[in-house]
Amino acid sequence: MQLLMSGYGPIADILPRIYSVRPTMWSLGQQADCGFLPKTSQTNCIMEIAVKILLYYAPIACSLAPYITLTEAGADFEVRSINLRKGQQKSPEYLKINPKHKVPLLVVDGKPLSENVAIQQWIDMTFPSANLFPKDPWQRLQAVSLLSWCSSGIHPYLTRMNSPIAVCDVAGTEESVFKIAKSHLFENYKLADEMLAGREFFFDHFTAPDSHFFWCFRRGTLFDIDLSQFKNCTAHFERMKTRASVQKLLAFEKSVQAEFAKVA
């Protein structure tokens, strides 16, 4: 990617830590959305994006969130599916690029980026016209807060419910771990239900937090628990399933699961 501005050289000299900038042919002049720059620097801003995007993904996992937002952004990206049940996330090859042994992992021009909160912000900065975050600075921070909440405030309880023994290996405690985790999960679902009252999305249009909360609620539907009290969350979940990006994700997930089943 290369950015030029009137009165300046390559923007690599100005924002070296925000974008991966590499020598390319000069852009033919496609006007860019340069809202992330100071207003005095936005004149005649031209952008050319030429990056290779690779998403490491696993079915059912929260890596579906960046799959959805990359699709919403119209990004050209490759997906490499990780079979968690086969332990591929702990293979020497994967640990070399992601020692956290988790998904998602986004690799941009060979450089890895982990954690959904960071990945979603990179997608937004790289594809600003997709409007994956609110433009208002305070509202943008609220979106980051929602993403962080999904990752650290909701996800851990889903993990405990999915594998109680992973957090407590004392014999006979599985039911208790599940029950306590479910109680905390429902507390968070109740908060989300209140946020979504009278709204289609968390903000005035689809944003990245909607994709992550879609995973949070969907994962809950895969347990044998009654979620009928969370009517706004359920409406959001059903609404999300009608989006083309989510339908593409679900079809892709189904194909990956079928492939994994062949080697089960």
Residues 6+ apart with CB under 8 A from 145: none
Phi, psi of 79 (to 5 degrees): -115, 135
What pTM, to 2 d.p., does this model score?
Answer: 0.83
Q: What is the Cβ-side half-sphere exposure of residue 177, based on CA atoms within 13 angstroms?
A: 19
Compute the distance between CA of residue 164 and CA of residue 83 in angstroms, rounded to an integer: 21
What does the pLDDT look like over 97-154, one tens digit per residue? 999 999 999 999 999 999 999 999 999 999 999 999 999 999 999 999 999 999 999 9
What does the pLDDT look like over 153-192, one tens digit per residue? 999 999 999 999 999 999 999 999 999 999 999 999 999 9
| Contact (CB, 8 A) for 237 and 218 | yes
Compute the distance between CA of residue 146 and CA of residue 133 in angstroms, rounded to an integer: 11
